[in-house]
Copies of this chain bind each other. A is one copy, B any other.
Amino acid sequence: MPVYTIKFLPDDCIATAKEGDNLLEIAMRADVYINASCGGNGTCGKCRVRVMKGETRAPTNPKVSRKDYDAGVRLACMTTVHGEAVVEIPFESRIDRTALTRKRERPVVLSSSGSTELIQGWEIDPAVSKRYIELQRPSVDDNVSDLRRLEREFQAKYGRTDISIDFPVLKTLNTTLREADWKVTVTVIETARGIEIVNVEPGNTVDRNYSIVIDVGTTTISAQVLDLANCSVVKITGQRENGLDLCTLAESSDYNSQIRYGEDVISRIMYAQKKGGLEKLQKAVIVTMNGLIRELLAMSNTRAEDITHIVCAGNTTMTHLLFGISPKYIMLAPYTPVMTSGISGAAVSGNAANRNGASLACGENAADPGASGIVIPPVRAKEMGIILNGHARVFAFPCVSSYVGGDIVAGMIGSGMFRKESVSLYMDIGTNGEVVLGNKDWLMCASCSAGPAFEGGGIKFGMRAGKGAIEQVKIHPVTYEPMVLTIGKTKPAGICGSGLIDIVAGLIETGLIDQNGKFRRDRDTVRVRQGEDGYEYVICYASEGQVDRDIVITEVDIDNLVRTKAAIYAGCAVLLEHAGISYGELEQVIIAGGFGRYIDVERAQVIGLLPELPPERFVFVGNGSLLGARLFSFSKGFLNEAERVARNMTNIELSNSKSFMDGFVAAMFLPHTDQNLFPGVMERLKNNG
């Protein structure tokens, strides 16, 4: 796909763009300020630009007269680029003194469907696979049982000695074999317990082996349908038209229906203890999953009977609830879950419960001969109420502790961190904020109890990263007017995590708030005002948004954000201190989380959420949990690997840690009490100040 150069005048700011990119987004990315209030909806008419040269497309719009349109005037939010272009920013949008000509290094973004490099060194070799077998018809001289006949061919062809059969298969075996004229496809699951035959179906269906991988989040459930049969390392690098790789047929996500029973894991655990509560919670998440599965099947034109398995990754509470297991003691000291082992039949090595330093060599697909530990086999999807056939199984990632779950272990797998030589820091910025430090030889993790600010919790107009959420904001340093982009480019409905970071960073960069997060009351703008909850900044007036009130950010909101970022930063600091490593020694900081796709590293550094390291050291993996689930489904080697990773991660308990409390208090400043940690940010703030 060609890459175009887009030049913004009058500052000669150069941006790169791909075919069809949105002009307002290009400007936002390139740090070019353009007034924009309506989120990219084409209704406020403020983002007028003039296309001087080049290929762009835009519909006519009532906000742009015929005469202006002919002169090249466009609304940036309604314009797409289809070649090189030169665009002039009109006077009212210009920021005179900011000649942002430096070309910013964008961090690597690994989308959840671009896992190519991560699967290197692993065979595409799913734990659930299919084998086509032709049997000899029975005769008087050869009238062994149907099962023995199958066994004979199976052994002759695959030479396996540890095969069992799932009982229900026997119930239809005679009819299936005969109706198929003794030509059948056998579906098997390979785990530490050997091979289990879970299905025998007529004809040759080896090219129809699909899986569904699901990130079971507290708030959002994301899923993809994968084509495991027509899939190879080479093919994964290819791209479909929809941007997914060739193995990913469709993806979708939805809110977890459990939300009605509580926003966070603690409220759900409490609900689970009510009469019938656990059952309702399990049913709710299954309802959401079933909806997604139906949607994915339709989108990908796949038959339910061809889905051989599901791989789930979720935090410890979500994993318990999904399988109908009481999470009660997760929230009661000393916080013990029922199980942390994967529900996967994976081999587990040693009884190294949370001990550090064990070797996690990669690529050992075979079950460890010295494997021990209690294995939990995968569960029948049908028994859980999932709308798949009887043979489909549900696998789930192992967890580490009550508050470091399967989503984080999946992130270790998905990001490839578990097999890197160099030390990385992994930050999953969701409701809790889990962080992991380490490499292929050791991993330590912590849950920061960060709070849900980045998911919209505790923020007056906070919302989850859905349609209408303000996700990118710039504030004009002179006029203090905001440039606003929403998800889906609809009118603003609220503020999501990345928008929040942008707003607070903008407020501090423009000097509208001080380093304590308090509004400076001497600035000349009507957007900062006394509201019902104290001082606030208006991001979007009621007339331009979807809600009937002005969308604002208050000092209380800022305070909540500061607490959240301080907890995460302090959690990282504790891990680094434990390992005796400085930020500078980190080769990579891996950012995962639903909001991670749009997070602006520099902005996040301004508020002190991310450490001040060169941008190229940051890697965004998006939904790391889903990435890990994909790999788990692609290759059975990851099953045992995930179990080993989970068992060997050292969980650092922060709730009683003095280091953590000290670090937390120190980080309750923007960007940080210790200015030496953020010299670059401090320098910029001084200049702006």
Which A residues have a C-beta under 8 Å from some C-beta of B? 138-140, 142-152, 154-155, 160-165, 167, 170-171, 173-175, 178, 193-194, 197, 323-326, 328-329, 333-341, 343, 345, 351, 353-354, 370-377, 379, 399, 401-402, 653, 656
Contacts and interface: CB of A to CB of B under 8 A. Distances in A.
B171 A656 contact: no
A399 B372 CA distance: 34
Contacts of A324: 171
Given A171-B324, A174-B326, A334-B139, A372 B163 contact: yes
A334 B161 contact: no
B174 A323 contact: no
A151 B373 contact: yes
Given A155-B351, A324-B171, A333-B140, A147 B653 contact: no
Contact of A401 (B143, B147, B345): B143
A175 B338 CA distance: 10
A174 B140 CA distance: 56
A336 B145 contact: yes
Given A161-B370, A370-B161, A374-B197, A338 B151 contact: no
A346 to B, nearest CB: 11
19 contacts: A138-B334, A140-B333, A140-B653, A140-B656, A142-B334, A144-B353, A145-B339, A147-B340, A148-B340, A149-B336, A161-B371, A163-B375, A164-B376, A167-B376, A167-B379, A170-B323, A170-B339, A174-B326, A193-B194
A171 B338 CA distance: 8
B334 A372 contact: no
B144 A372 contact: no
A337 B170 CA distance: 11
Contacts of A329: 146, 174, 178
Contact of A372 (B161, B171, B174, B328): B161
A390 to B, nearest CB: 13
B376 A337 contact: no
Contacts of A401: 143, 145
B338 A145 contact: yes
Contact of A326 (B150, B175, B197, B323): B175
Copies in the complex: 2
B145 A374 contact: no
Nearest to A191: B164
Contacts of A150: 374
B375 A140 contact: no
Contacts of A161: 370-373
Nearest to A377: B164
A167 B341 contact: no
A353 B193 contact: no
A170 B340 CA distance: 11
A372 B155 contact: yes
Q: Which 10 A-B pairs have the closest CB atoms?
A: A161-B372, A147-B339, A143-B334, A164-B375, A145-B340, A151-B374, A145-B337, A140-B334, A138-B336, A163-B374
A374 B147 contact: yes
A152 to B, nearest CB: 6
Contact of A163 (B147, B334, B373): B373
A66 B398 CA distance: 87
Given A161-B371, A323-B170, A345-B164, A144 B377 contact: no
Nearest to A327: B174
A328 B146 CA distance: 12
Nearest to A154: B374
A334 B160 CA distance: 28
A165 B346 CA distance: 12
Given A140-B334, A148-B339, A193-B194, 10 more contacts: A140-B653, A143-B401, A144-B336, A145-B338, A145-B399, A146-B336, A151-B351, A151-B373, A151-B374, A170-B323
A192 to B, nearest CB: 8
Nearest to A343: B167
A374 B164 contact: yes
B164 A353 contact: no
Contacts of A371: 161-162
A170 B334 contact: no
A333 B138 CA distance: 9
A152 B372 CA distance: 10
A433 to B, nearest CB: 20
Contacts of A345: 164
Contact of A341 (B147, B154, B325, B373): B147
Contacts of A140: 333-334, 653, 656
B376 A143 contact: no
A370 B155 CA distance: 13
A170 B377 contact: no
A329 B338 CA distance: 47
A399 B345 CA distance: 30
A547 B613 CA distance: 102
A138, A174, A333: residue with the most chain B Cβ atoms closer than 10 Å? A174
A316 to B, nearest CB: 9
A150, A335, A336, A339: residue with the most chain B Cβ atoms closer than 10 Å? A336
Contacts of A148: 339-341, 353
A354 B144 contact: yes
A318 to B, nearest CB: 15
A165 B339 CA distance: 11
Given A140-B333, A328-B174, A339 B146 contact: yes
Contact of A336 (B143, B160, B335): B143
A372 B167 CA distance: 18
A179 to B, nearest CB: 13
Nearest to A653: B140
A330 to B, nearest CB: 10
Contact of A146 (B154, B333, B338, B353): B338
A41 to B, nearest CB: 49
A265 to B, nearest CB: 16
